[in-house]
Amino acid sequence: MVLRTFEGFTDCILLVVAAPPEILARGQLALEVYNNALAEGKASVKRVPLMLIGQDRSGKTSLKKSLKGIVFDPDEDSTVGIDVDRYHFKVTTETWMTGMRDEESTTDAEAFSFEHNAARLVAERLMEVDNVIGSERRADVGSENYGLEMTEIPIETQFRESSTDPEPIDSQKPDLLAGEVPDSREFSIEGDALFITQVQMSNFEEIAGRTETLLQDGWAENSGDIHSIMWDFAGQSVYYVTHPLFLTARAIYLLAYDLSQSPYDIAKPVVKQGVFKEFQDNFNLKTNLDYLDFWLTSVASLASQDQQTDIGHESEVLPKKIPAVFLVCTHADEPHKGCDPFKLAKEIFGTLKSKPHGSQLYDVFVVDNTKSGSRSECPEVMRLREEVLAVAKELPHVNEVIPIKWLRYEKALETLKNKGYKWISLTQAKHIMSKVCSINNDGEMLTLLNFLHDLRLLIHFDDTSELNDVVVLDPQWLIDVFKEVITVRPYHSKDKRFVDLWCQLEREGILEEKLLRHVWSSLIRRTETCECLIAIMEKFSLLCPLPLPVDGSRSKQYLVPSMLKSHPTNAISDLVASAQIPPLFLKFETGQVPAGFFPRLVLEFFRWCIDRFPRQEPPQLFNGFARFYIQPGEGRSVVLLCHSLSIELLILTSNKTFDTSDGNLACAVRTQLASMIKCMQNKFFWVKNVVCELNFLCPVCCRGREVRFCRNHHAEGCKKEECLHFFPDSKLVTGDKQVFCSRSATAQDNRVLVAHFAPWFPSEHDKVSRGV
């Protein structure tokens, strides 16, 4: 019945010539069904990004190839920035095959395409009304009307901004045809009628053809299929600062670790590109385990930014908290010192599991990537596919049902991206949403953008006015733009007039605005675009505007934290030991210091120092270390030192014993610190959910910054930061006269001398004068 009634469905729905009423009626009904289906239809489109994270050379790219069955390459180049798959693939227990639309076989990605879901929905609706139109319409149509001239069905008019015919595609701007990158400003609302019409009509024709095929051939049930795109994050630390922009709480994470390295050894020195040569940062003393902890903390911070991940779940498959993290230990064929790779992997997994954020770890896998693409595939890779699929099926957001018109909007933006547009304004994004999808409610518009942002199909942060106006269509382009700023270009004669500025960036981490615009000149053509991108980079602390030029010039300058070099640790240790006032520590609930937090705090402190101490000398800024000479004539300075789990503040003075003015300075710094953190939370959405508190190091059980006897490592004199004993400053704020250490079993006197920490707090006289 269906084949007879709707034979030639495509011709019916696109009728533009004389036709008998019977066919015209079928075309009108088909059009009505089509419009209703797209307006009211829903679909379950199951997609979850898979993100590979971990240290440099840990085998992430080779792991990706193992999962996709690609032959192992022992000379695989390191990923630069982030490498994003162009096409989706189906997550199965078999090899994950990435498909392209022009391949001979039907791709798995078709299952979640707008065209496929729309055609399927239209076909279902047509089958429902088949019996009605099969008899009634034929009875009402007389044979005498077959030769009458009929008018055109006004299909196109419902898509058109004006009554003029659409221009041919060849009439697009020459720069698009020439392959140049257009700017979003060239995509104007007034001139987008052609684009809107082309999108509507191309979708219309394709869906009509697909519907007819489905009515003739039927379709298989695939509602349970899950699809994904893989993101391969570079392991070099210089790119870490860019990662918070692209990590999402709606993803599954594969944390790679190289078993040929001991987790407790100092990580290999970071290699950075210089103007004339590469150089190593030999003073960054993080262990391999520290880097694993860093990545876990970064993923854990996403949970607090997404309300759905905070909701408890009853699934027996998912870890206690999501996003789920799979620890994948690679190089199983060459484990450290010939040890059992499974035992070492289990030890690392257990250590991470005991961390505050260990509840997000799902399981550990021991992988030999050298077997990739061979007949004897690594069994652990096969198990990894199975477990990823099992977790993906249980994720709450994967099973959400969305309106089909959301897929239509995604298709429209994809078409625009394929034309070369990298980003558009929020106004333009909403305009397309209204014209293409008939979505005019601001709430639904924002929900739709958030949905696509969570899948990282586009980038849109609505937390501030500076970020809200930018909708990035091509995340890979944004990654490439950022790479140009956070790395130094090797010397080339064509850039010789900028060589001094490049050297300044390499040496001091300071970026001149004119160098920034020169670097972006090949990627960005308009000033407005530069300003928007600078706003994004500022909000994520990829670069920080300096309060004033450090060299006295008028040119605008930025601090690029990722370019700061580390300072020799021995000299810093000697400086810390010289402090007369006990240091203050900022501790974080998630464990590690959040990425980007320290440089942003340094800049907030810089601004405060300028207002409070106008005669200060230029600060000394390094990776994780900053010193402010706020009263150089009196020998006073403030030091900020970033550790893995805390930020340390020191008041340094030339006095052998601190006096009242030293105490006033310490008290002012402590009071201002709370204001700085509150300011950061108001300005940066990624800091809003950061929970931290001020602490002091216990002088009873941690003299010399080491634990006399460490239960965690069953060792004497342990200096690991996570084993040190801290107590919150709130114990002293409340005026407690007695504070006791409960950690040491052998201390003769476990009382903490409260007066030792008095400089950090207002004196009784100050409290009275302030009415406290």
Average pLDDT rounded to a whole number, residues 395-403: 87
pLDDT-based confidence at 325, cuts 50/70/90?
A: very high
Least confident range of 67-71, 164-168, 318-322, 465-469: 164-168
Neighbours of 358 (CB within 10 A): 20
Provide the pLDDT for residue 704: 83
Q: Is the Cα torsion angle 696, 698, 699, 705 positive or negative in sign?
A: negative
Query: H or E stretch including 628?
Result: strand 625-631
Asked if residue 621 and residue 509 are part of one domain, the reply reads no
Query: H or E stretch including 444?
Result: helix 442-454
pLDDT-based confidence at 525, cuts 50/70/90?
A: low
Asked if residue 582 and residue 547 are part of one domain, the reply reads no
Q: Cα dist. 726→294, 703, 714 in Å? A: 21, 12, 19
Q: Is residue 765 part of a domain?
A: yes
* Whole-prediction pTM: 0.80
Asked if residue 670 and residue 588 are part of one domain, the reply reads yes
Overall number of domains in the chain: 3
* pLDDT score of 362 more than 90: yes
Residue that wins the pLDDT comparison between 724 and 177? 724
Asked if residue 605 and residue 744 are part of one domain, the reply reads yes
Average pLDDT rounded to a whole number, residues 718-728: 88
Q: Cα dist. 126→6, 112, 134, 137 in Å? A: 8, 21, 11, 14
Cβ contacts of 161 within 8 Å, gap of 6 or more: 192, 193, 196, 197, 435
Cβ contacts of 20 within 8 Å, gap of 6 or more: 141, 145, 146, 148, 150
Provide the pLDDT for residue 136: 52
Q: Is residue 388 part of a domain?
A: yes
CATH code for the domain in which residue 577 is found:
3.30.310.200
Q: Is 225 within 8 Å of 464 (Cβ atoms)?
A: no
Angle between helices 379-394 and 60-68 (to 10 degrees): 90
Provide the pLDDT for residue 251: 93
Residue where a domain terminates, one of 509, 527, 562: 562
Q: Is residue 451 part of a domain?
A: no
Provide the pLDDT for residue 78: 73
Average pLDDT rounded to a whole number, residues 396-417: 88
Residues, the chain, total?
A: 772
* pLDDT score of 720 more than 90: no
List residues bridging with 328 in a β-sheet: 256, 365
pLDDT-based confidence at 273, cuts 50/70/90?
A: confident
Asked if residue 392 and residue 509 are part of one domain, the reply reads no
Asked if residue 519 and residue 584 are part of one domain, the reply reads no
Asked if residue 743 and residue 672 are part of one domain, the reply reads yes
Average pLDDT rounded to a whole number, residues 216-228: 74
Provide the pLDDT for residue 735: 58
Provide the pLDDT for residue 178: 29
Q: Is residue 138 part of a domain?
A: no
pLDDT-based confidence at 163, cuts 50/70/90?
A: very low
Q: Cα dist. 690→302, 555, 586, 710, 721 in Å? A: 11, 34, 12, 29, 20
Least confident range of 35-39, 192-196, 298-302: 192-196
Residue that wins the pLDDT comparison between 364 and 611? 364
Provide the pLDDT for residue 143: 36
Q: For 736-749, write each residue's pLDDT tens digit.
A: 567 888 888 888 88
**The domain containing residue 649 runs over which residues?**
567-769
Residue 459: helix, strand or coil by DSSP? Answer: strand
Residue that wins the pLDDT comparison between 545 and 39? 545
Asked if residue 576 and residue 543 are part of one domain, the reply reads no
Mean of per-residue pLDDT scores for the chain? 78
Structure tokens given for 665: 């300075």
Q: Is residue 688 part of a domain?
A: yes
Q: Is residue 180 part of a domain?
A: no
Residue where a domain terminates, one of 562, 583, 609: 562
* pLDDT score of 7 more than 50: no
* pLDDT score of 675 more than 50: yes
Within 44-86, where are the H helices? 60-68
Provide the pLDDT for residue 660: 65
Residue that wins the pLDDT comparison between 222 and 382? 382
pLDDT-based confidence at 261, cuts 50/70/90?
A: very high
Q: Is 544 within 8 Å of 537 (Cβ atoms)?
A: no
Asked if residue 316 and residue 343 are part of one domain, the reply reads yes
* pLDDT score of 341 more than 90: yes
Provide the pLDDT for residue 180: 42
Average pLDDT rounded to a whole number, residues 338-354: 94
Asked if residue 572 and residue 536 are part of one domain, the reply reads no
* pLDDT score of 726 more than 80: yes
Output the CA angle 708-713-719, nearest 5 degrees: 50
Query: H or E stretch including 554?
Result: none
Least confident range of 116-130, 314-328, 447-461, 640-654: 116-130
Q: Is 648 within 8 Å of 641 (Cβ atoms)?
A: yes
Ranges 23-32, 468-477, 628-637, 643-652, most confident: 643-652
Provide the pLDDT for residue 198: 65
pLDDT-based confidence at 599, cuts 50/70/90?
A: confident
Least confident range of 72-86, 184-198, 281-295: 184-198
Provide the pLDDT for residue 274: 87
Q: In 3-state terms, the chain is what percent helix, strand and coil (to 5)? A: 45, 15, 40
Provide the pLDDT for residue 129: 62
Provide the pLDDT for residue 167: 35
Neighbours of 342 (CB within 10 A): 15
Provide the pLDDT for residue 661: 67
Asked if residue 671 and residue 543 are part of one domain, the reply reads no
Cβ contacts of 36 within 8 Å, gap of 6 or more: 125
Provide the pLDDT for residue 102: 36
Asked if residue 609 and residue 514 are part of one domain, the reply reads no
Ranges 23-32, 252-261, 314-323, 590-599, most confident: 252-261
Provide the pLDDT for residue 348: 96
Least confident range of 136-145, 263-272, 624-633: 136-145
Cβ contacts of 725 within 8 Å, gap of 6 or more: 697, 698, 701, 702, 707, 741, 743
pLDDT-based confidence at 174, cuts 50/70/90?
A: very low
Least confident range of 191-195, 235-239, 335-339, 369-373: 191-195
CATH code for the domain in which residue 353 is found:
3.40.50.300
Percent of the chain scored above 90 by pLDDT?
22
Least confident range of 92-101, 145-154, 342-351, 664-673: 145-154
* pLDDT score of 500 more than 90: yes
Average pLDDT rounded to a whole number, residues 407-426: 88
Provide the pLDDT for residue 368: 95
**Alpha-carbon span 126 to 133, nearest angstrom:** 10
Q: Cα dist. 178→167, 417, 418, 421 in Å? A: 19, 15, 14, 14
**Alpha-carbon span 270 to 257, nearest angstrom:** 17
Residue 681's φ and ψ, nearest 5 degrees, are -65, -30
pLDDT-based confidence at 98, cuts 50/70/90?
A: low
Q: Is the Cα torsion angle 422, 107, 7, 126 positive or negative in sign?
A: negative
**Alpha-carbon span 487 to 563, nearest angstrom:** 7
Q: Is residue 151 part of a domain?
A: no
pLDDT-based confidence at 201, cuts 50/70/90?
A: low
Residue where a domain terminates, one of 353, 371, 396: 396
* pLDDT score of 347 more than 90: yes
Provide the pLDDT for residue 160: 34
Q: Is residue 551 part of a domain?
A: yes
* pLDDT score of 688 more than 70: yes
- Alpha-carbon 195 to chain mean position: 30
Average pLDDT rounded to a whole number, residues 560-571: 87
- Identify the residue whose tokens are 């049930």: 221
Average pLDDT rounded to a whole number, residues 591-608: 85
Average pLDDT rounded to a whole number, residues 302-311: 54
